[in-house]
């Protein structure tokens, strides 16, 4: 059974097709990265999958439950970490966790054990009595992750989980995500950081203008679009040309009479993204 399945999903706002005929399957135990420029439909897709927005058309199933007809069952199976800070600044770390546990009807003493478990996992156990307003941005994000894990979801959705964080904190969040996946959890994340996707994700989907335009592993995408790039400087800009391999790119460069402003290198995810969408991530 798929962890997440979307078949023929559309979402229309005021006659604007924000998501169009989206078909996507996320396998149990994988980390799936969803990329796209602003306005591509990523956030709307996440909102539909997490029961926050009704699809206009199509079928969405999460952990075996239909998103439209079995919302409560879906919510028991998922954890959600939104880009916006959603913890209560006037409560302590422990009070935020306690409130969330009660809302999920987790009984004591199990609730206290889980609070201790997940605060320890995200390295916030020593801050359990601190007001959230005193925490750094990275600590607040880790608290959001701990809170989303309190009811032991099978699928975790992360919307821009490291936006605005310093490099060291971002790496710590990556380690937390990797650790959860190693425990068998399925994760879907959206991000504007290409290196985050390359480091974390088993497969990648690229959306543009409401449509899923590409999907596969990084290696599959590089095999399809080209594993090497020839960069040619034109004024203050660079022109990119894909080649099947670095050997092919170097052979082509060797044949050029004028090699000024030209260089070859292996292709990366950002190269493929720009090639497909015509623009960089905003």
Render pLDDT for 152-168 as a digit per residue (tens, 0 to 9). 999 999 998 888 888 88
Percent of the chain with pLDDT over 90: 84
Q: Where in the chain is the domain with CATH 3.40.50.300?
A: 4-216
Looking at residue 280, its pLDDT comes to: 54
Looking at residue 19, its pLDDT comes to: 96
> Taking all residues of the chain, what is their mean pLDDT, rounded to a whole number?
93
pLDDT surpasses 60 at 178: yes
Which bin fits 135, alpha (ψ -120 to 50), beta or left (φ > 0)?
beta
Is-contact 252 246, C-beta < 8 A? no
Residues 6+ apart with CB under 8 A from 29: 3, 181, 184, 185, 186
Looking at residue 139, its pLDDT comes to: 93
| CA dist 238 → 175, 235, 241 (Å) | 34, 8, 10
Angle at 195 between CA 119 and CA 225, to 5 degrees: 140
The stretch 139-147 carries a mean pLDDT of 94
Sign of CA dihedral 151, 101, 70, 12: negative
Which bin fits 160, alpha (ψ -120 to 50), beta or left (φ > 0)?
left
Looking at residue 281, its pLDDT comes to: 47
CA nearest neighbour of 90 among 123, 124, 135, 125: 135
Specify the CATH number of the domain 4-216: 3.40.50.300
| Tokens 């190269």 -> residue | 271
pLDDT surpasses 90 at 119: yes
Burial (0-12, 13-18, 19+ Cβ within 10 Å), 118: buried
pTM: 0.91
Which bin fits 230, alpha (ψ -120 to 50), beta or left (φ > 0)?
beta
Strand 16-26 relative to strand 4-13: parallel, antiparallel, unpaired? antiparallel
H/E stretch holding 28: none
């Amino acid at each position: 059974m798929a962890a997440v399945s979307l078949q023929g999903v559309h979402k229309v706002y005021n006659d604007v097709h924000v998501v169009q005929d989206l078909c996507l399957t996320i396998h149990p135990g994988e980390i799936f990265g969803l990329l796209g420029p602003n306005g591509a439909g990523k956030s709307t897709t996440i909102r539909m999958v997490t029961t926050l927005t009704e699809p206009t058309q199509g079928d969405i199933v999460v952990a075996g439950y239909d998103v439209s007809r079995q919302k409560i069952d879906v919510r028991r199976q998922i954890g959600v970490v939104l880009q916006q800070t959603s913890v209560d600044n006037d409560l302590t770390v422990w009070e935020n966790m306690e409130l969330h546990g009660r809302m999920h009807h987790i009984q004591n003493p199990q609730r206290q054990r889980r609070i201790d478990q997940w605060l320890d996992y995200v390295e916030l156990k020593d801050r359990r009595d601190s007001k959230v307003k005193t925490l750094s941005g990275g600590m607040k994000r880790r608290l959001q992750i701990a809170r989303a894990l309190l009811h032991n979801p099978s699928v975790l959705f992360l919307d821009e989980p490291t936006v605005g964080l310093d490099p060291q904190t971002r790496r710590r969040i990556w380690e937390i995500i990797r650790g959860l996946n190693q425990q068998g959890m399925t994760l879907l994340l959206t991000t504007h950081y290409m290196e985050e996707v390359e480091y974390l994700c088993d497969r990648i989907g690229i959306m543009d203008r409401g449509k899923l335009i590409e999907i596969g592993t990084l290696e599959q995408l590089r095999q399809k679009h080209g594993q090497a790039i020839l960069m040619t400087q034109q004024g203050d800009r660079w022109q990119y040309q894909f080649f099947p391999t670095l050997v092919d790119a170097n052979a082509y460069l060797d044949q050029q009479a004028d090699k000024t402003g030209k260089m070859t290198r292996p292709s990366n995810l950002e190269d493929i993204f720009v090639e497909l969408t015509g623009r960089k991530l905003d």
